[in-house]
Chain A
Amino acid sequence: DIQMTQSPSSLSASVGDRVTITCRASQSIRSYLNWYQQKPGKAPKLLIYAASSLQSGVPARFSGSGSGTDFTLSINSLQPEDFATYFCQQSYSTPPTFGQGTKVVIK
């Protein structure tokens, strides 16, 4: 199975900050990398697919980049509703696997 490692596991930030979360795969996954946002008690929500494609309806302050083994999710101008946990997921091979999550909290 492909292991997905996110960093950091948590971060504190203020409204208006730019935030960057990193995800590393244990082997090349080309661009088969997806990002999700999860709020407490809710199901995950797809933000980015194929490393850099913005899912319909997701604000443009979210962006993704990377290929191969190293990927980044960036949030420009953090908004109050963005405080949540973010997961990366590889869809290059079965089984699909998720990172352990990055919790973004208010500073």
Chain B
Amino acid sequence: QVTLRESGPALVKPTQTLTLTCTFSGFSLSTSGMSVSWIRQPPGKALEWLAHIDWDDDKYYSTSLQTRLTISKDTSKNQVVLTMTNMDPVDTATYYCARMRADIALAFDYWGQGTLVTVSS
């Protein structure tokens, strides 16, 4: 049974750094073709992909946010961590982690429940 769960602060101040952790089970991120992505959704808006990390440690970032994002994995702990620097109120959103599989056209087949992050002073 595949599960993912996001954890991190619910409230951050402008200019602070956000650190989110995705803890997953039911699969290994050392398996060929597996990836974990971070995706966010501002209230009432569409989904925005942020970053993903592959089984072989390749990393990819949103073009518009790449200078602020860092993604990493700890395979032994089944965790993927995303940091986002210089947070702004426009970054207020629900942040999801999701599994991506190469054998199903790189679709996101399992998602965490999401964590709402509010940026406010």
A residues neighboring B (CB under 8 Å) = 1, 31-34, 36, 42-46, 49-50, 53, 55, 87, 89, 91, 94-101
Supply 8 A–B pairs (Cβ within 8 Å), ascending by A.
Answer: A32-B105, A32-B106, A42-B113, A43-B111, A43-B112, A94-B60, A95-B49, A95-B60
Q: Which of B47, B60, B109 contacts A98 (CB 8 A)?
A: B47
Q: Do B46 and A98 touch across chains, with their CB atoms under 8 A apart?
A: yes
Q: Do B109 and A55 touch across chains, with their CB atoms under 8 A apart?
A: yes
Most buried by A among B60, B100, B106, B112: B106
Q: Do B113 and A43 touch across chains, with their CB atoms under 8 A apart?
A: yes
What is the distance, in angstroms, from B35's C-beta to the closest C-beta of chain A? 11
Q: Is the interface of A mostly helix, strand, loop or mixed?
A: loop
Q: How large is the interface on B (under 10, 10 to 19, 20 to 34, 35 or more residues)?
A: 20 to 34
Q: Do A98 and B48 touch across chains, with their CB atoms under 8 A apart?
A: yes
Q: Do B105 and A44 touch across chains, with their CB atoms under 8 A apart?
A: no
List of A residues within 8 angstroms of B55 by Cβ: none
Q: Do B96 and A46 touch across chains, with their CB atoms under 8 A apart?
A: no
List of A residues within 8 angstroms of B104 by Cβ: 49-50, 53, 55
- Contact of B10 with A by CB under 8 A: no
Q: How far is the CA of A43 from the CA of B32 in the complex (A)?
A: 25
Q: Which of B37, B46, B60 contacts A101 (CB 8 A)?
A: B46
Answer whether A49 and B107 are a contact pair too, CB < 8 Å, given A43-B96, A95-B60. Answer: yes
